[in-house]
Structure 1
Amino acid sequence: MDYLVENRIGIESCLTSNLQTSTVNSLLNPPLKQFLEKGILASINTDDPAVEGIEIRHEYEVAVPAAGLSAVQIRQTQINGLETRC
């Protein structure tokens, strides 16, 4: 994780997709929280919407509240997404 912070490498966190693919067992303690706490440039994203059927609106309306992210953490993910865009 230190390498990601030191080199300002972003992580796209796809909460619902991670649940659908069994990467995580629940959204109660997603790795996204740890990424943010460590200073990693993590952002909230969807996996392929056409394949997974997940839209970013769903992530903010359903997945983010289920994950227990604070308003400050949500805002930080948005800033991180802008900083790491291609």
Structure 2
Amino acid sequence: MANHGAAALVMVASLLVAAALADARHTDVKAPAALACNKVHGVQTAETCFSVSQGAGLTQDQFLAFNPNINCAKLFVGQWVCLDATLA
């Protein structure tokens, strides 16, 4: 019977080590680079993400990279968007 307790203790210790190793793997993840916006634009009536990016001479991918948290489906008049950014 004493062997069952020792086996359970070894299993618990193994699980704790596995959990610690799993947590350690996540610390190597790098945060996205911070951007500093150099040029902003206030959204006007009837503008979309696409029309604003086109008007600024940007691709849609560039525009979205400069505005990573934007929701293009909920763009509103007066919303500030970034048209040029550099690494902070």
TM-score by length of 2: 0.27
Structure having the higher strand fraction is 2
TM-score by length of 1: 0.27
